Chain A
């Protein structure tokens, strides 16, 4: 996802350099036909089921669509949404969740640094730490709901370390519920990001560290001055993945863990969209929120591509 702008170049086969022009153009035509034949299935699926629907979403976002009939209203629907205080309440939740993205990257960075040193048992640990990636958000949410419940593990730990005054029903209050969702999100992102950083670290030439050691750099200095700058691409990749997950993959976690509540406490844009369309039947508003979500993600992805381009 990092380098969407990487257009194929130079790798294609040149047309056969036959002296006969007619023959050559004939072959060219076969090539074009073959290429279309090979790309057609993928193109058809993507156009019919992704590109056309996003166009429809833009159109229907300006109507009062209920799934059966739609009357044109116009771009003013966007103004109506932006004047709706609930929309801003929901967007605030998305913003607060974004604050956990750095945590979801720094923790795995430290873990990857330790694993890279090949501490005892690192292979087993690597398998274990990636495990949440294989488990569905439904299952994660179901366990997390118990962990944060009044008699759950978090309150148990708080009691054991003498912080009984902090014991609460985490999912029963707006901000603590959002915190619980964020903590669960961070927990399940640790695996993916650890693997990304480990991969990045394995591409760094050990000779660079050797040179640093000769120059008298401590391990910490080497980590800060060598590892971190060389991992830049991997930070960007991990940032995009983590951010997209925070915006678009938490629906099932929230559905199972809190149902969006209490109040609007854990309702994010994607959950709001589902509620508007499938609970209330306002398909037009749902499509509208979908377009807003798409624009936000597209903007951030473009910005990070620009960043990546700027360096080369």
Chain B
């Protein structure tokens, strides 16, 4: 009664029997419902994830502005993007931002997490306060901060610094201070959420070692340095990589704070991609730069993974 389809005709009789594919059996074992459950995720990923990724690679090799028909230009877009005279500055700015964000924004959440983990009472209050900036929509927060950064004497930060006799500073208006100002905001916005992740990781630190260290007479600071932090090594490395990848793809902050100014001091790679695509309408060039950035980030993760793996073992 069962319909069968021969899959491998040339094999021996017993092998054929094992390899027979039966539609009824397939249906009874849930094959059809599996396909039905697979439809939404496959369709959505095809359209909005896998498709665009593949399309991105092709798009970077074409000249297209949606009006004229697309023209194959090979590596022409890459040559065009790489010879753009403002690219080195944008790349350096992006790198500068990433390094600055790492120096300022990286130790704060770790220290905060280690401290909150030691609290026996009120730790929920500290958690909540620390995480609060992370739920404020960035656009609203940036508008507020832009006002806080008001360069005149009556700006909020300048007023507050004036109380202790410092300032006034030009903040976003000066080439030298614009990027650090954005990093300061980004640290405020991101530190609490990162600290919460570290606190979760601190729960997995093995505590027997602390007792052993106490017997050996290690002070609290030495215990943090030699026991807590080494055990958090993996999550710290991961978070560092995620933060790096995140800062390289930063758009909202420089776009809304300065729009790339003053004098291109906050022009980043992502702002350039945005300008290529949505100001100039040159989608090929925009994708070529995206592909370059993605390849760079991929290489970065790859190298980072192997280097930190080596450190983790030693």
Are both chains from one complex? no
User: Which residues from chain A sit less than 8 Å from chain B, CB to CB?
Assistant: none
